[in-house]
A and B are shown apart, each in its own frame.
Chain A
């Protein structure tokens, strides 16, 4: 039974099971996504650089407009990988492993940016580049998880096995996401508690909140654009590998025919 025949697959997903159809969709969608990303980034940066100085943090508050969206996307990319891992293990969707594998380097980049900009922001505000508190340490662990997953994919030759192993590892690593989110509530940390994604609403002043949401949206569209581009690359890599194997088989068959 192919994925298209499978009754377990949600109907919308079966249409994209064919990589050729998926690539055609990417070709149509990518220019629009790129345009929206550029516009949102321009608006977000303009809004971000127009905010007044914060009464406590002064002008360094502007670092928030790259730090917080990077952190959101670092965790968002991991959630994409979690849903892809379910796609591999539950529905066996052929593009699920492609999506997970394409999201990992992007997630690693956003995590690195979250760590780097957070460290740069921490130096003038906390007086230190780094502290081993629960929020910073769990976020560093997320970066290590991303690197580990990329190493895992590259270390197993057989595609189905590497997809399954990585999917299980992604689901195990997902335990770190709520730890990152709630670490500031569960432990005493130097990092401030949540001020945007709170059950009782954001505590951030609107003049900072709207530029932050705009930059968050810009980073989301940037991630979607880069993710589709990276998925397209992964599909091409698999097509090349298939053709190379076919070429090797053809050469062997010819050799056997002549001997």
Chain B
């Protein structure tokens, strides 16, 4: 770790990369989770017989 981030500014460099990784992973998982939830909701509506005109 010292090789990558050094010792003097370890906290600053590691936290910059850490926060970037956290935010980008968070937005990616949020988008994936939303997709899953919406696919489920759409399937539920179609199972109840409410279908789009194009899928009839």
**B interface SS class:** helix
Query: Which chain A residues lie closer than 8 Å to B19 at the CB level?
Result: 113, 116-117, 120
Q: Nearest B residue to A119 by beta-carbon distance?
A: B16
Quick check: which of A3-11, A79-87, A185-193, A240-248 contacts chain B, the rest being far away? A240-248
Do B16 and A247 have beta carbons less than 8 Å apart? no
CA of A105 to CA of B26, assembled, Å:
12
Query: Which chain B residues lie closer than 8 Å to A181 at the CB level?
Result: none
Contact sample, A vs B, 18 pairs, CB 8 Å cutoff: A20-B54, A59-B9, A60-B9, A62-B13, A63-B12, A63-B16, A66-B16, A66-B17, A66-B20, A120-B19, A229-B31, A229-B32, A229-B35, A240-B38, A240-B42, A243-B45, A243-B52, A247-B50
In the complex, the number of residue pairs spanning A and B with C-beta atoms less than 8 Å apart equals 88
A161 at the interface (CB under 8 A from B): no
CA of A60 to CA of B14, assembled, Å:
10
Known: A20-B54, A67-B16. A232 touches B35 (CB 8 A): yes
Q: How far is the CB of B32 from chain A (nearest CB, A)?
A: 7
Q: How far is the CB of A228 from chain B (nearest CB, A)?
A: 10
Do A120 and B15 have beta carbons less than 8 Å apart? yes
Residues in chain B within 8 A of chain A (CB atoms)? 4-6, 8-9, 12-13, 15-17, 19-20, 23-24, 27-28, 31-32, 34-35, 38-39, 41-42, 45-46, 48, 50-52, 54
**A interface SS class:** helix
Query: Which chain B residues lie closer than 8 Å to A222 at the CB level?
Result: 24
A139 at the interface (CB under 8 A from B): no
Do B50 and A117 have beta carbons less than 8 Å apart? no
Q: How far is the CB of B15 from chain A (nearest CB, A)?
A: 6
CA of A20 to CA of B48, assembled, Å:
21
A174 at the interface (CB under 8 A from B): no
Do B27 and A105 have beta carbons less than 8 Å apart? yes
Do A59 and B34 have beta carbons less than 8 Å apart? no
Among B9, B31, B54, the residue within 8 A (CB) of A124 is: B9
Do A70 and B31 have beta carbons less than 8 Å apart? no
A226 at the interface (CB under 8 A from B): yes
Query: Which chain A residues lie closer than 8 Å to B52 at the CB level?
Result: 239, 242-243
Do A233 and B34 have beta carbons less than 8 Å apart? yes
Across chains A and B, which 5 residue pairs bring their CB atoms closest together, nearest first? A59-B6, A236-B38, A66-B20, A63-B16, A243-B45
Do A106 and B27 have beta carbons less than 8 Å apart? yes
A112 at the interface (CB under 8 A from B): yes
Do A243 and B27 have beta carbons less than 8 Å apart? no
Given contacts A116-B23, A233-B31, A237-B38, 15 further A-B contacts (CB under 8 A): A59-B5, A59-B6, A59-B9, A60-B9, A62-B13, A109-B24, A113-B19, A113-B23, A120-B15, A233-B34, A233-B38, A236-B38, A243-B42, A243-B50, A246-B50
Q: How far is the CB of A55 from chain B (nearest CB, A)?
A: 14
Query: Which chain A residues lie closer than 8 Å to B13 at the CB level?
Result: 59-60, 62-63
Which residues of A202-259 have CB atoms within 8 Å of chain B's CB atoms? 222, 226, 229-230, 232-233, 236-237, 239-240, 242-244, 246-247, 250
